[in-house]
Each structure stands twice: as C-alpha cells, then as structure tokens.
Amino acid sequence: MIKPVLISVLTASLMSISDPVAANDDLDLVTKCSGFFVIPGASCKEIPRGQDILQNNCVSCHSVIDANGNNFLRHGGRAGPNLYGIQYRVFGGAEEARYSSGLKMLKEKNIPVTSENFLKYMTDMKGFLDEELPDATYSVKHKHRRNKSITEDIYQFLISLPEDG
C-alpha cells in the first residue's frame, strides 16, 4: 500500500509538471495559457475582447510578439507586420516588414500610430491614405476595413500589453 505522504508528494510533482506557469520562471509579467499569453492579473478564462478579436480576425497575417518572444496570439502569421508596440511606431515603421508602396510612402511622412490614426487606417484605409498621399499613385497589400468598436478594442488591448524589458 502507498503511504499518504508519498501520494501527496506524487500529486505535487504531477501538478507542477502540468502547470505551465509553475514550469516556467520567466512568466512574471504574463500568464501562459496553453501557448497563449494574457496580460498581468488576468486568468486564462479572461481573454480581453481586443485579444479575442485579433485572434479571430487578424492572426492569419499578423503576430503580436514582444522582443522576449512572449506571444500574445496563437499561430500568428507573417504576411503583415508584428503589431506589438505599435503605439510607439509610425505607419510603415516595423523594421522586419515588407510593405507595399503605399505604406512605404506613409513611412516617409512619419505618422505616429495614435488611437486616432489607427482608427482611421482600420476603418477607412483608402480615405486615410488619400488624405496623407494626395497626389501619389500607390498600392496596398491588404484592404483593412473594420468597424469602429472592433478597432477601438484592438487598440486598447495592444497598448495594454506590458513593455518588454
């Protein structure tokens, strides 16, 4: 017969193996939920709306991943730029991205990705580019056209992420 003390030791070690948070010391900033990181203080069941929208609408082309490799979306795509830290960038400003001529021209204009500009780009991309590049002929790689409420939730989520160290 197995003694009770041995059973509790066994249970404790099994729990630490199956618990991804306990198994990884680097996760003081974020919580890992089966390959998916949520912001500090949230539980695995409390995925913010903006994160959920990104996961369902943007992940085929975008990732949200910080410099330490913390990945805030599952299976992020690479056709579009990484959206992590976008509030500190200008449009067309992600170093690793291969942008269209339209976004390359926007980069020259140094337009910060503020909530207002993010909203314009996501809800009326053509209007935004035509306004900023009035006389230019340009192409874009993807026509983003989303409604205001979705866009605001996405931006709120992106700016809520912890800064990488």
Its sign, for the CA torsion 73, 115, 138, 110, is negative
135: number of Cβ within 10 Å: 5
Scanning 4-12, 18-26, 32-40, 75-83 for contacts with ligand HEC by CB under 6 A, the matching segment is: 75-83
CA 75 and chain centroid, separation: 11
Q: How far is it, in rounded angstroms, from Cα 31 to Cα 46? A: 11
Q: Which of 50, 80, 105, 120 binds ligand HEC (CB under 6 A)?
A: 80
Total chain residues near ligand HEC (CB under 6 A)? 25
141 binds ligand HEC (CB under 6 A): yes
Pick the binder of ligand HEC from 48, 50, 76, 81 (CB under 6 A).
81
| Cα separation of the two ends of the chain | 51
- By CB under 6 A, tell whether 159 contacts ligand HEC: no
Residue closer to ligand HEC (CB basis): 16 or 60: 60
Give the separation between CA 21 and CA 32, rounded to whole angstroms. Answer: 6
Contact residues for ligand HEC (CB under 6 A)? 57-58, 60-62, 79-81, 83, 89, 91-94, 99-100, 102-103, 121, 140-142, 144, 146, 154
